[in-house]
Amino acid sequence: MGLLRAIGFFHGNLFLFGVMIGAGIFVSPIGVLKYSSLNIPVSLSIWAAAALLKMMNALCLAEAATTFPVSAAPYYFLKRSLGSSAAFLNLWIGIFGYSLGLSTQSLLIANCLIQPFYSGCPAPELPKKCLAFAVLWSLGILNSRGVTTVSWFNTISSLMKMAVLCFISLTGVVLLVIGKRENVSRFENALDAEFPVSTLNSASCGILAASRMFYTASQEGQLPSIFSMLNNYHCPVAAVTKIIIFSSIAVIPSRLVNLIKYLMLATLILSELSMIALLKLRYQEPNLHRPYK
C-alpha cells in the first residue's frame, strides 16, 4: 500500500494558490516597512529582491518536480544531487521550518479569532495558545483522513479566499473611481474575516507537504520506518502526528515575531540548497531527461 495519486491539475493548482497566498502577505508588509524605517523605496527594493529569489527557487523546484515525479521531490532531488548528508540537513531544517511555520500560522489564526473578544487590549497568551493547539490538532486530524479530504478542504477554502479577495478588490476600485474614498475602510473587516480562512488553507498544505517529506525520508532510511506507515486512508499518520507535536511544542514558549524570523532563515537556507543542487545535477547528469528546464 502506497500514497494515493489523488491530486490532479485542478486541485494541484489550488494547492499552489493556497501556499502562495497564505498568512505572509497579510503580515510581512508591516515588518518590512518597520525595519526599513518606513522608507518606501527601500521597502520596495526588499520586496523585489525577495520576489526574484523566490521566483528562482520556484523555477528550480519546478524542474526538480518534473524531473523526479515522486513524493517530496525536493528532498529526493537534493539527495541525488548533493548526497545523503545534504538531504539529511535539508530534512532537519525542513522539520524545524515546517514546525515554526505551522506554529506561526496557528498563533495568527488564534489571535485573529480571539482578539475581537478583547477589544482595546491585547488578548491573553494562555487562551490564544490553547486555541492555537486546537487549530493545529484539528488540521492534523483532517490530514489523517487522507489526501482526498485535504484536497476538498483546500478547494473550498481557496475558492472562498478568491471570492473574498475579488470582492474586496473590485469594490475598493469602484469606490475609489466614484470618489467615495471614505467608504473603503469599511471593507477592512471583510479582509480580517478572510485572514483565518487563508491561513488555515496554507497551514493544511504545509502539513501535507511536511508529512510527505518525512514519509520519503523514512523510506530512504533517514527516519525510522514508522513514519512511512500508512493508515486506511493512505496517509502517513505517524508523520502527520510528528509535525503536529513539533509545531505544538514551538507554540508554547514562542513569540510570534521570533517565530517569523527563524522561519524566514530556514526558508532561505532551503532555497539556496535547492539552487545549488540544481546547478550541480545539471553538471553531473547533463543527459538526464528534464521535461521542464
pLDDT tens-digit profile of 71-99? 777 788 888 888 888 888 888 888 888 88
All structural domains of the chain with their residue ranges: 9-284
With a cut of 80, say whether residue 226 has pLDDT above it.
yes
Residue 171 has pLDDT above 80, yes or no: no
Q: What is the mean pLDDT of the chain?
A: 79
Q: Note the pLDDT tens digit of each residue in 28-72.
A: 666 676 777 777 788 788 878 878 887 887 888 788 878 887 777
CA proximity to 274, closest of 2, 90, 133, 85: 90
Separation of alpha carbons 219 and 205, rounded Å: 21
Per-residue pLDDT band for 244 (boundaries 50, 70, 90) equals: very high
Please give the share of the chain, as a percent, with pLDDT higher than 70.
82
What pLDDT shows up at residue 260?
A: 64
Residue 22, classified by CB atoms within 10 Å of its CB into exposed (0-12), middle (13-18) or buried (19+), is buried
Per-residue confidence (pLDDT) for residue 99, from 0 to 100:
85
Write down the pLDDT at residue 95: 84
Q: According to the model, what pLDDT value does residue 186 have?
A: 55
Q: Where are the alpha helices (DSSP H) in the chain?
A: 9-20, 24-35, 40-67, 73-82, 84-114, 125-144, 147-177, 188-219, 237-251, 256-284
Give the pLDDT band (50/70/90) at residue 229.
confident
Chain center to CA of 76:
19
Looking at mean pLDDT, say which of 34-43, 109-118, 124-133 comes out highest.
124-133
The model's confidence at residue 172, banded by pLDDT at 50, 70 and 90, is low
Taking 70 as the threshold, does the pLDDT of residue 182 lie above it?
no
pLDDT (0 to 100) of residue 275:
80
Task: Give the residue-averaged pLDDT of 231-243.
Answer: 89
Share of the chain above pLDDT 90, in %: 7
In the three-class reduction of DSSP (H, G, I as helix; E, B as strand; rest coil), residue 293 is classed as coil
Q: The cell 493544511 sits on which residue?
A: 204
Alpha-carbon distance values, 263 to 96, 97, 101, 110, 246 (Å)? 8, 6, 6, 19, 14
- Greater model confidence, 93 or 255: 93
Q: Tell me the average pLDDT across 277-290.
A: 83
Residue 245 has pLDDT above 80, yes or no: yes
Amino acid at 64: A
Q: What is the pLDDT of residue 185?
A: 53
Mean of pLDDT values over 24-28: 60
Q: Determine the average pLDDT of the residues in 192-221.
A: 81
pLDDT surpasses 70 at 175: no
* pLDDT-based confidence at residue 135 (cuts at 50, 70, 90): very high
